[in-house]
Chains A and B, each alone.
Chain A
Amino acid sequence: MVASPSSALAPAVTAGLQDVEAFGEGSDEDAAIVDALRAGDPDAADRLFLTHGEHVQRVLARVLGPDPDLVDLIQDVFVTALTSFRRLKDPRALRPWLTTIAVFTARARIRKRARWSFFRFLPHDELPEQTAPSTPAEVSEALRSTYRVLGRMPAQERIPFALRVIDGMELTQVAEACGFSLATVKRRLARAKLRFCELAREEPSLSDWLDEGTSWEP
């Protein structure tokens, strides 16, 4: 059985976007890009990618960590955007809208990984094909450990944690990106921090960051 890493993601992501209302400070450039897309400008898709590609990549990486299918996931976000831009109510809020798509794409990816984990009880040759994650040698143990810990957390806590603590997003931006209320984000973030700190103590490269060496007395 071959499982394409991003197959069937698009319906799950676009279904979630129907309820998303983009709002925010917005920019004139974003509005111009959306206008160009709506007008069928042949360069509009490229402008969209060049303007927001790095941001989308960053959001995906924050939530998922090192992922062998990052290229496909970036592509999924932009294909979803290019086929759904007519749903965007406020063209000036293109960037937060793309952030939402990226978060939804990452969430679908996390759920897919969780489903694959059911197959670990099958004989080896029945497992879906899956590339073993590979990260550049220079990625530190702290980064790997952080995402190992995040991988053990439920998606509804992991995602706000990654956006707030790692990316440094404001709480309102996290709420917007996740499609939660501000109160819900605060609640989930508090739980996520507690859980992360608890799990991180099992990781040697993280426990020092959290203990600050206060576990011993001179």
Chain B
Amino acid sequence: MNELERQLLERQSLERQSLERLGERVRSEQDRTLQQGPALRLARCKLEQGKLELERREAVAAPGGVPRRVLWALATVPLALGLGLALRAASGQSEVLTASTGDVSYHRGDTVLAPASASLPVDFSDGSSVVLAPSSLATIADLRRHGAELTLATGDAEVHVVHRRHTDWLLNAGPFRVRVTGTRFALHYDPSSDALELSMTEGSVVVSGCDLGEQGRKVVAHETLRASCRPLPTATESEASVPEPTAAAEPVLQPVVEVSSGHATRRESSGSRVGAAVVASDPEWLTLAQSGEYSDAYAQLGPIFEHELTLRGPDELTLMADVARLSGHWDRAEHAYRTLRSRFASTSRAASAAFSLARLAFDQRQSYPDAARWFQVYLDEEPSGPFAREALGRRVEALHRAGDTRAARSEAARYLQLYPSGPHARAVRDLLAAP
């Protein structure tokens, strides 16, 4: 075997080991997320609503599909599939709705608190469901013949209301009321800031309260409403070239009502105290970015980049930065990360943006002192964060390349103490062993 072959085999072996480690990491993280999530419980509830599934099967029945005699055989399978419940729901209600979680039934006035470690589904006898996120709190304000009234005191709820002719559901969140006739959406309410966020998936709702008025504002599929009875801040960005982790920009309060869908944005000036923003959550660049089509995404995003920076939340700002970075527009990527840090300071997304700024400084600009500083910013803000090990390893490398050997060796020792078998361990040991 010659030297080249030996190096190739060694490289392949290293790659195999790296993939094994990565696979193990992803596997354990995924298992943890699955255990904490509600998917399995919800799937079981749905299976128990056997008749709803049969209706879906009949709608898509085709040659090669399930024969009708099998469908009807399933229809006669008794209570294990809870068909009695589903049939009663499908045929219309002559009595007040019931609400339950498993064997626990709720009554009017009951308070429901989701545990800290898991979501809590509340199922209604009309087939509707409200899934409370961990630690969320809600009250069953009323149970009626064609609907229910819930009050979300704090937290998040995934709401699915089955539409029927007389469906009449009401959700309260602080000063806001959401009237529902058949739809699917996610609702978040934070009483400390009086902030409501409602993201529509299907159907439409009308949200009233504060200066939205009694008539309210309609929110349709693909729209997100963010509202508060207090003015919403918009932050100016810091233009400092050296990272200053504590120098957050002062927010400028700017009450405004914005409605946008697709690429058009209509700004309504308002003298009211209420800040509310209705933004489309699925512009074309976002769809392209989520499919990994970064160049095409940037082609759509580029002309509206500055505007999108003011509208988007932290997840989407991160995606904007990724789009810019992966399509080679590093200045804009940096701009997006800095904007995210400014607008959403002290969040884990802001810390992740620091990590990404470090990588930009290192990989694209070869500015190793800046890279080392940004890695340290990340470590200061998220010492136990998901990138902590990578950040410290890369910081060692950046310090070394910047010529700061003493600091590099000091950080190398720290790395080995914390991560003796981490991905940088071998190179770090070599650094410490070098004269």
A and B pair up? yes
Q: How far is the CB of B188 from chain A (nearest CB, A)?
A: 12
**Contact assessment for A133 and B53 in the assembled complex, using a CB-CB cutoff below 8 Å:** no
Given the complex of chains A and B, what is the CA–CA distance between A195 and B268 in angstroms?
A: 49
- Which B274-289 residues have C-beta < 8 A from chain A? 280-284, 286-288
The answer to whether the Cβ of B3 comes within 8 Å of any Cβ in the partner chain is no
Per-residue CB contact flags for chain B residues 48-72 toward chain A (1 = under 8 Å, else 0) read 0000010011011010111000100
Residue A97 at the chain B interface, CB threshold 8 Å: no
Q: Determine chain A's interface SS by DSSP, over half rule.
A: helix
A44 to B281, CA, bound (A): 43
Contacts A83-B70, A132-B290; is A209 near B60 (CB within 8 Å)? no
Least CB distance, A129 to chain B, in whole angstroms: 6
Residue among B14, B23, B79, B292 making CB contact with A148, cutoff 8 Å: B292
CB < 8 Å neighbour of A45 from B47, B66, B352: B47
Instruction: Report the minimal beta-carbon distance from A84 to chain B, rounded to whole angstroms.
Output: 9
Instruction: Check A205–B40 contact: CB distance below 8 A.
Output: no
**B-side interface mostly:** helix
Q: Are B292 and A151 closer than 8 Å at their CB atoms? A: yes
Q: Size range of the interface on A?
A: 35 or more
Q: Which B residues are CB-close (under 8 A) to A11?
A: 60, 62, 64-65
Q: Which of A42, A43, A123, A165 counts the most chain B CB atoms within 10 A?
A: A165
CA distance A128 to B62 in the complex (A): 22
**A132 and B286 alpha carbons, distance in the complex (Å):** 9
Nearest-neighbour CB distance to chain A for B301, whole angstroms, equals 13
List the A side residues contacting B25 at CB < 8 Å: 142, 209
Name A212's contact: one of B24, B356, B426 (CB within 8 Å): B426
Q: A127 contacts B282, CB within 8 Å?
A: yes
> Which residue of B has the minimal Cβ distance to A62?
B30
A87 to chain B, nearest CB (A): 12
With an 8 A cutoff between CB atoms, is B428 at the interface? yes
Q: Is there contact, CB below 8 Å, between B43 and A74? A: yes
Q: Shortest beta-carbon distance, B33 to chain A, in Å?
A: 6
Could you list some 5 contacts between A and B, CB below 8 A?
A14-B64, A125-B262, A132-B282, A208-B390, A216-B400
Given contacts A124-B283, A205-B387, 16 further A-B contacts (CB under 8 A): A7-B56, A8-B60, A45-B80, A49-B47, A53-B40, A62-B30, A75-B46, A79-B47, A83-B70, A120-B296, A130-B287, A146-B26, A165-B20, A205-B386, A212-B14, A217-B430
- B interface residues (Cβ-Cβ under 8 A, vs A): 14-16, 18-27, 29-34, 36-37, 39-40, 42-44, 46-47, 53, 56-57, 59-60, 62, 64-66, 70, 74, 77-81, 201-202, 221-222, 261-262, 280-284, 286-288, 290-293, 296, 326, 348, 352, 355-356, 359, 386-387, 390, 393-394, 397, 400-401, 423-424, 426-428, 430-431, 434
